[in-house]
Amino acid sequence: MNTLRQVKIGARLGLAFATVLLLLTLLGGFGMYQTSQANFYAKDLGTNWLPSIKVIGDIRASLNRARRAGLSHLLESSPEAKLALQKRSEEELGQKLPKLFAQYEPLIASAEEKQSFEKMRSNFQAWLALENKLLQLSSGNASDQEAARQMAVGDSARAFSVITAEAEKLVMINVDGADKSTAAATVSYQQALLVSIGMIALAVLMGAVLAMLVTRSITQPLVTGVAVAEAVAEGDLTTQFDIQGRDEPADLLRALQYMNERLVDIVGQVRLSSDSIATGSAEIA
């Protein structure tokens, strides 16, 4: 309290308001930072992990269509049907899948994901060579068709399984990344909530404490000044009071003290003059 009384009221009020405003500014700044963090994780989820999962899903679907076209090609006997199935397979293998690989590559977010993607693409090239050979044999004579059937359930099937396994691994990598991004966004939200509640509570508490201290530092000397003024008005010039601080109320109390002292002097002089007059009158009489 005495420390506050050393500061003028204007500066005291300004300091109190500045403290509360500083806390509110810190609260707002932290809220903006946490909002940007939540936005980052949401953006990461929407522009990286989920698109990656979608593209991998499209790759798997295209691989399955190409695989089915190749197997159907083996079972068909009609040259027209075989030609249609071959075109379908070539469209998936030669056009759609390369485009999907190109779409996925910019979405890679880790060394592990890049390694798995490169393995899948390399294994795809190996399977593509086998699939082209399978379609060629399937269009040949009975001996070639038998070799194609053996390849379909042998080397081609194993190569296809390796590709789909890598695709599944990529899905799991991206699902794990999406889960981590979601968890990070949740943690960011929880931290923002807890810190915001704490800072709001702190701001309210400090505001209440500062309001109480500043109010008391102003009202207490004013109450003393009013009491002195009332005592003087009633003719009591013996009131003693302690003056502390350098603020406006302290200046007011000093002025009242000086006034009280001057009144005492004046009253003393009046009494002295009265006594002198009374003595002179007695001598004359």
105 within domain boundaries: yes
Which of these three, 145, 176, 206, is where a domain ends? 206
Task: Write out the two tokens for 1.
Answer: 């309290």
Q: What is the pLDDT of residue 281?
A: 58
Distance CA 203, CA 18 (A): 11
- Does the model's pTM come out above 0.75? no
Q: What is the pLDDT of residue 169?
A: 94
Same-domain pairing of 142 and 182: yes
Q: What is the mean pLDDT of residues 140-169?
A: 89
Q: Which of 40, 61, 177, 60 is nearest to 108 (CA)?
A: 177
Distance CA 41, CA 187 (A): 11
Q: In this structure, is the dihedral angle defined by the CA atoms of residues 148, 154, 159 and 160, taken in order, positive or negative? A: positive
Same-domain pairing of 133 and 187: yes
4 within domain boundaries: no
Which of these three, 206, 235, 263, is where a domain ends? 206
Q: What is the pLDDT of residue 125?
A: 92
Q: Tell whether the model's pLDDT for residue 59 goes beyond 60.
A: yes
162 within domain boundaries: yes
Which pLDDT band holds residue 6 (cuts at 50, 70, 90)?
A: low
Indicate the number of domains in the chain. 2
Same-domain pairing of 106 and 237: no
In the chain the beta strands, taken as DSSP E runs, fall at none
Q: How far are the Cα atoms of 2, 53, 101, 111 from residue 121, in angstroms, in the given order?
A: 78, 16, 8, 15
Same-domain pairing of 60 and 192: yes
Q: What is the pLDDT of residue 161?
A: 92
2 within domain boundaries: no
Same-domain pairing of 171 and 276: no
124 within domain boundaries: yes
Same-domain pairing of 97 and 222: no
Same-domain pairing of 33 and 115: yes
Same-domain pairing of 30 and 133: yes
Task: Write out the two tokens for 135.
Answer: 């379609």
What value does the CA radius of gyration of the chain take, rounded to a whole number of Å? 46
Which pLDDT band holds residue 2 (cuts at 50, 70, 90)?
A: low
Same-domain pairing of 134 and 242: no
Domain that includes residue 158, residue range: 10-206
1 within domain boundaries: no
272 within domain boundaries: yes
CB within 8 Å of 127: residues ≥ 6 apart: 156, 159, 160, 162, 163
Which of these three, 155, 188, 206, is where a domain ends? 206
